[in-house]
A and B are shown apart, each in its own frame.
Chain A
C-alpha cells in the first residue's frame, strides 16, 4: 500500500518542484535582496551569537573561531526550523485547493521543505567562504555530509507529515510548532559544543537527531572527524521507522481533509 502511495507521489514529482518554485518566487519576488535573504538570517544570528556568547559569555567553541563554529550549526538548524514552521501550516493554508483538486496531499509539506532546501543550499555557500577566511581546509570526511543532510531531511519530512496533517484538524499546532522549535534549539548544539553537555546526559542528548546532525556537520567540516557513529546509526534507524509511521498516519487522515467544513 505504501508502495502505491509512493508511486503516485512519484507521478506528481513535478508538482513538488512547481510548489517549491512557487514558494521561492513568492518569497523573494518583491524583495530587494532576493536570495541574499537566505543567507541573512543565519548570518545575523551568527553575528549576535558571536557578540553575546563568545564575547560576553565566553562560551567555548572547541577551539574553532566562534563565527564559523556557530554558522556551521546555524545553517542546518535554520533550515530545520524554517522548513518545519512553513510545512506545518502548508496544508491548512491551501485548504481551498484541497477542496478543489485531487493530488497527493503530502506534496504541500514536501514542497515547502523543498523550497527551504534551496535557501539551505544558498546559505551553505557562505560556509565555503568562511572556511576560506578562517583557513579551514576541506577534508575527506566531508563525504559524510550527504548522510547527515539526508538524516536531517528524513527527520524533517517525518515531523512535517505529522504536524501538517494534525494542523488541519487542530490549528493550535501552527503555534505549538515554533515554540517547540525554539526550545529545541537549546537541546541542540547550535550555540555551544556537545562537549559542554555533562557526560552522563550525553547518551540521552544524542537521541535528538538534530543534535546528531549539527554535531556531525561540525565534526566533518571543522575538525575533519567522522560523525559519532553510535548516535548516527541510532538516529538513522529511528528516523526511518518514524518516517514510515508518519507517512502511514498521513495517508490515513488525508482522506478526511476535504470533509472539513
Chain B
C-alpha cells in the first residue's frame, strides 16, 4: 500500500478534430451518417501522451520526474492532480493531494489580496474555517501585509507568486506535487520556499517533483524517473538517472549544435573555430571534474584590429555563467591583431561538477561593446565525475568528527 500507485496508465489526446462549434459538428455528423467516413477520429489525429506508465511512490519519499520536452511530464502531473483523466489504466492516490502547479492561478484581478486568499484557498480544497485559522500565517509568509486590501491587478508578478505560494504552502497535504514553481520571487523568498518544502519533507510528506532543473532534482529527490516519449525509460538512484539523461541530451545537442550555435562576423574579422582539447591536445566532448581543459580559438582578421580583446565564457546549460575571462590584461594579445592565428586558453583543472556546459567566444575591438566577431554556444561539453558530490563546483574539503 503506497500513497501513490500507477498501473499501466495510458493517456490519449485528440489533435485538431474537436468540433468547437455546431457549424463544424453538423457537417461532420452528416458525413458520419452518410457512412463516408467510417472512422471519424483517424489514428492520425491521435496522440498518446503517456504509454503504459507504471510506478509507485512510497510514503515520505520524494520522487523526481525528468525528461525532455514533450515526454509527458505535464500530462502525468495533470493526471496525478486529477485535472485530466487517464484513458486507460489505474491510479490510486491515498491522502490529501496538493499540486503546486500554477501559483495564483485562481486569482481574480479585481479582488483584493485578502479576498483572493479565500478564493484560492477554497479552490485548493480548504474550508473557510481552515483559512481563517491559517490566515495570519499565510499573510506573514507572503510578506504582503501592507498590500492585503490592494486589488491583485496592481500586484507585481513576483507578489502574485508569493501570495500563491504562501496559500499553497498552508494546505498541509499528505502528497505534494511540485512543478517548476520554485524559480520564483527574489532569492530570499526562494530560500523560504525551499525551507518550507524541506520542512514538509521532514514531516513525512510524500512528494513528486517534476522539473528541468536537474540540480534541484538531484538535491531534493530520493529516486528519479526518466520519461521519454510517454514511457518510463529509466528509474533509480538520482545520480545515475540524471547522468544518463544528460548523456542523452548531449547526443541531441551535438546533433543540433550547428543550428543552435549563433555567431556573427563582420568585414573586420571572423572566428573560424573553437576547439576543446585535453592536455595532450586531443579533441574532447567529455571531461572529468578536475581535469585540464584547453580552449583553442582560431581567428582571422581581415583588417588590422586595434586594441583587440578576446572574451571566453563557460556557461552551464541552464544559463548560469560559470566563468568568463577577457584577454586584455594578460599581455598575450598584441596591440593590433592582423591575419590568422590561434589563441589558446588553458584551464589546468576544471573544478565544475557534472552537467552540460557550452563555450562562447567573442572578439572586441578598442573598447567597443559590440563584438566584431563571436561564436555563441559553439562548443558543448559534458562534465562527469567519479565522486558523489553534486552542485556547481568541486570545493576542496575534509571531514572531521569529534566526540568525547
Interface residues of B in 60-117 (CB under 8 A from A): 78, 81-85, 99, 101-102, 105-106, 108, 110-111, 115
**Cα-based distance from A17 to B78 in the complex (angstroms):** 26
Residue of A nearest to B119 (CB): A18
Interface residues of B in 8-44 (CB under 8 A from A): 13-15, 18-23, 25
Is the CB of B251 closer than 8 A to any CB of chain A?
A: no
The one of B18, B78, B102, B122 that contacts A258, using a Cβ cutoff of 8 Å: B78
Whether B84 and A103, one on each chain, are in contact in the complex, defined by CB atoms closer than 8 angstroms, is no
Is the CB of A238 closer than 8 A to any CB of chain B?
A: no
Whether A101 and B122, one on each chain, are in contact in the complex, defined by CB atoms closer than 8 angstroms, is no
Residue of B nearest to A26 (CB): B110
Kindly list chain A residues whose C-beta atoms are within 8 Å of the C-beta of B118: 18, 21
Kindly list chain B residues whose C-beta atoms are within 8 Å of the C-beta of A22: 108, 111, 115, 119
Is the CB of B264 closer than 8 A to any CB of chain A?
A: no
Is the CB of A125 closer than 8 A to any CB of chain B?
A: no
Q: Is the interface on chain A under 10, 10 to 19, 20 to 34, or 35 or more residues?
A: 20 to 34
Contact with B along A81-114 (1 / 0, CB 8 A): 0000000000000001111111100000000000
The one of B20, B83, B85 that contacts A101, using a Cβ cutoff of 8 Å: B83
Whether A101 and B123, one on each chain, are in contact in the complex, defined by CB atoms closer than 8 angstroms, is yes
Kindly list chain B residues whose C-beta atoms are within 8 Å of the C-beta of A259: 13-14, 84
Residue of A nearest to B13 (CB): A259
**Cα-based distance from A169 to B28 in the complex (angstroms):** 14
Contact with A along B353-385 (1 / 0, CB 8 A): 000000000000000000000000000000000
Is the CB of B127 closer than 8 A to any CB of chain A?
A: yes
Kindly list chain A residues whose C-beta atoms are within 8 Å of the C-beta of B125: 11-12, 15, 103
Whether B110 and A101, one on each chain, are in contact in the complex, defined by CB atoms closer than 8 angstroms, is no
**Cα-based distance from A96 to B84 in the complex (angstroms):** 13
B48–chain A nearest beta-carbon distance, Å: 13
Whether A29 and B85, one on each chain, are in contact in the complex, defined by CB atoms closer than 8 angstroms, is no
B112–chain A nearest beta-carbon distance, Å: 9
Whether B18 and A14, one on each chain, are in contact in the complex, defined by CB atoms closer than 8 angstroms, is no
Is the CB of A261 closer than 8 A to any CB of chain B?
A: yes
Is the CB of B124 closer than 8 A to any CB of chain A?
A: yes
Kindly list chain B residues whose C-beta atoms are within 8 Å of the C-beta of A255: 84-85
The one of A102, A170, A171 that contacts B81, using a Cβ cutoff of 8 Å: A102
Kindly list chain A residues whose C-beta atoms are within 8 Å of the C-beta of B83: 98-102, 258
Whether A14 and B128, one on each chain, are in contact in the complex, defined by CB atoms closer than 8 angstroms, is yes
Whether B110 and A14, one on each chain, are in contact in the complex, defined by CB atoms closer than 8 angstroms, is no
Whether A14 and B127, one on each chain, are in contact in the complex, defined by CB atoms closer than 8 angstroms, is yes
**Cα-based distance from A94 to B15 in the complex (angstroms):** 22
Whether B122 and A18, one on each chain, are in contact in the complex, defined by CB atoms closer than 8 angstroms, is yes
Of A11, A96, A100, the most chain B CB neighbours within 10 A belong to A100
Residue of A nearest to B97 (CB): A102
Residue of A nearest to B102 (CB): A100
The one of B15, B23, B101, B110 that contacts A25, using a Cβ cutoff of 8 Å: B110
Kindly list chain A residues whose C-beta atoms are within 8 Å of the C-beta of B22: 170, 172
**Contact A26/B111 with A101-B105, A101-B106, A260-B18 known, Cβ cut-off 8 Å:** yes
**Contact A170/B19 with A11-B125, A101-B99, A101-B124 known, Cβ cut-off 8 Å:** yes
B294–chain A nearest beta-carbon distance, Å: 49
**Cα-based distance from A97 to B106 in the complex (angstroms):** 6
A100–chain B nearest beta-carbon distance, Å: 4
Whether A97 and B111, one on each chain, are in contact in the complex, defined by CB atoms closer than 8 angstroms, is no
Whether B102 and A29, one on each chain, are in contact in the complex, defined by CB atoms closer than 8 angstroms, is no
**Contact A102/B105 with A18-B118, A18-B122, A25-B110 known, Cβ cut-off 8 Å:** no
Q: Is the interface on chain B under 10, 10 to 19, 20 to 34, or 35 or more residues?
A: 20 to 34
Kindly list chain B residues whose C-beta atoms are within 8 Å of the C-beta of A17: 122, 128
**Cα-based distance from A13 to B126 in the complex (angstroms):** 10
Kindly list chain A residues whose C-beta atoms are within 8 Å of the C-beta of B127: 13-14
B24–chain A nearest beta-carbon distance, Å: 9
**Cα-based distance from A211 to B369 in the complex (angstroms):** 79
Contact with A along B303-321 (1 / 0, CB 8 A): 0000000000000000000
A105–chain B nearest beta-carbon distance, Å: 10
B141–chain A nearest beta-carbon distance, Å: 20
**Contact A14/B122 with A29-B110, A101-B83, A258-B78 known, Cβ cut-off 8 Å:** yes
**Cα-based distance from A157 to B245 in the complex (angstroms):** 51
Kindly list chain B residues whose C-beta atoms are within 8 Å of the C-beta of A172: 21-23
**Cα-based distance from A98 to B78 in the complex (angstroms):** 11
Whether A15 and B122, one on each chain, are in contact in the complex, defined by CB atoms closer than 8 angstroms, is yes
A87–chain B nearest beta-carbon distance, Å: 17
**Cα-based distance from A259 to B84 in the complex (angstroms):** 7
**Cα-based distance from A111 to B119 in the complex (angstroms):** 12
Kindly list chain B residues whose C-beta atoms are within 8 Å of the C-beta of A258: 78, 83-84
Whether A102 and B119, one on each chain, are in contact in the complex, defined by CB atoms closer than 8 angstroms, is no
Interface residues of A in 103-159 (CB under 8 A from B): 103
Whether B99 and A170, one on each chain, are in contact in the complex, defined by CB atoms closer than 8 angstroms, is no
B28–chain A nearest beta-carbon distance, Å: 12
Residue of A nearest to B14 (CB): A259
Contact with B along A1-40 (1 / 0, CB 8 A): 0000000000111110111011001100100000000000
Kindly list chain B residues whose C-beta atoms are within 8 Å of the C-beta of A96: 105
Residue of A nearest to B87 (CB): A259
**Cα-based distance from A12 to B108 in the complex (angstroms):** 18
Kindly list chain A residues whose C-beta atoms are within 8 Å of the C-beta of B23: 172
Kindly list chain B residues whose C-beta atoms are within 8 Å of the C-beta of A170: 19-22, 25
The one of A15, A25, A169 that contacts B123, using a Cβ cutoff of 8 Å: A15
Closest 9 CB pairs of A and B: A15-B122, A255-B85, A100-B105, A100-B102, A102-B82, A14-B128, A18-B122, A172-B22, A258-B84
Can you list 19 residue pairs at the A/B interface with Cβ under 8 Å? Answer: A13-B127, A14-B122, A14-B126, A15-B123, A17-B122, A19-B119, A21-B118, A22-B115, A25-B110, A25-B115, A97-B123, A99-B83, A101-B83, A101-B105, A170-B25, A172-B21, A172-B22, A258-B84, A261-B18
